[in-house]
Amino acid sequence: MNSLFEPLHRDENNSPLIIAGPCSVESPEQLFSTIKELNAQGISIIRGGVWKPRTRPGSFEGLGTVALPWIEEVKKEFPIQFGVEVASSKHVEAALKHQIDFVWIGARSTVNPFTVQEIADSLKGSKIPVLIKNPVNPDLSLWLGAVERIANAGIRQIAAIHRGFSNFRDSIHRNSPMWQLPIEFKSHFPEIPMINDPSHISGKRSLVPLIAQKALDLNFDGLMIESHISPDQAWSDATQQVTPFDLGNILKNLKTRKIRFEAPEMLDQLEEIRHQIDQADHELLEAIHRRMNLVEKIGAYKKLNNVAVLQMERWQDILQSRSGWANSLEISPELVREIMSLIHQESIKKQTEIMDS
Ligand code: PEP
Ligand code: MN
């Protein structure tokens, strides 16, 4: 079946690709009733985990291959395409044997090149679409590498899923979105559709609409959302799943933005603003150039007087005064702090070179 990712990106109505379904397949009845209701909401690309990677043993790890014939049965009833997670060659073989329409590689597998390669090898010769979740840790290379391994195996229909990254201090999200990573991914592989998974990012259903909207605002190509006929009774990820009915409402309330400017007068305006941005950036770089010249001057002066490069008090003063300037200029103090830290690092490096020369 080739229709899943064709068109690969958003269609002409600009509607995002929607994939929904339970975290785990639990029983033929759960599968049937969930899919029936999802179908009633216009959703026909279904997910459902059969092998569940759990961080710790002891919780529900999926029903395994017994669930695959149920999927085949339910596909006779409804016009759907069904995908499961695969984490080994055994999983791939079983999925292909049971006519699964697409597979995804989970976040705990993307971290491991051996696992990804094993999956890639067992996919060789098949045309099945493959979705690749970001690794649990914020390492872009692992994600890109997984895409390359799957592409090298001859798979042509590949999409990426952004499901967020493990975190220590982020108490809002189950997995921090770190939006800059999927954006950077897109700059490497602009042709690969990027699908957002607000369920695993949020960990709680109340946050799902907000994250989904943010993804659409950032021009993501689709959403994968966990949906269960009775979410509170779900055997895995109960707190983040939504009923098919609630999902329908979430989707109705999402605002899709135009992918690009269309009218010529809009384009003129855009060009004008971009021109001003280019000028502002140029001025910014000129200011950095001026500052770096002064850094060299002060480095030479410190060397002449045999004074240490790092002057902690001065650095504290810089941070404090620039935070104040940030406030009065209405720029985020965090941004200014980060910029100043980078400039300071470079300044220390330059001065050390002068000291040692
Ligand atoms: C899942 O999709 O149910 C899942 C286990 O996701 P992740 O790999 O993103 O944790
Ligand atoms: Mn889940």
259 within domain boundaries = no
- 306 and 189 in a single domain? The answer is no
User: Which of 253, 285, 308 is the last residue in one of the domains?
Assistant: 253
How many domains is the chain partitioned into structurally? 2
343 within domain boundaries = yes
Cα(197) to ligand 1 centroid in Å equals 9
User: Which of 222, 253, 284 is the last residue in one of the domains?
Assistant: 253
CATH number, domain containing residue 286? 1.20.59.10
Q: Is the CB of 47 under 6 A from ligand 1?
A: no
258 within domain boundaries = no
| Residue-by-residue pLDDT tens, the chain, 357 positions | 334 455 445 566 678 999 999 999 999 999 999 999 999 999 999 999 999 988 888 889 999 999 999 999 999 999 999 999 999 999 999 999 999 999 999 999 999 999 999 999 999 999 999 999 999 999 999 999 999 999 999 999 999 999 999 998 888 999 999 999 999 999 999 999 999 999 999 999 999 999 999 999 999 999 999 999 999 999 999 999 999 999 999 999 999 887 777 788 888 888 999 999 999 999 999 999 999 999 999 999 999 999 999 999 999 999 999 999 999 999 999 999 999 999 999 999 999 999 998
Closest Cα to atom 8, ligand 1: which residue?
Answer: 106
* Per-residue pLDDT at 97: 98
Point out the ligand 1 atom lying closest to the alpha carbon of residue 237. 3
158 within domain boundaries = yes
User: Which of 205, 224, 253 is the last residue in one of the domains?
Assistant: 253
- 225 and 347 in a single domain? The answer is no
Cα(200) to ligand 1 centroid in Å equals 7
- 167 and 294 in a single domain? The answer is no
Cα(277) to ligand 2 centroid in Å equals 42
* Per-residue pLDDT at 205: 98
Q: Is the CB of 174 under 6 A from ligand 1?
A: no
Q: Which domain holds residue 299?
A: 264-356
- 242 and 295 in a single domain? The answer is no
Q: Is the CB of 163 under 6 A from ligand 1?
A: yes
Q: Can you tell me which residue has the tokens 């000028």?
A: 279
* Per-residue pLDDT at 298: 96
CATH number, domain containing residue 126? 3.20.20.70
199 within domain boundaries = yes
Q: Is the CB of 200 under 6 A from ligand 1?
A: yes
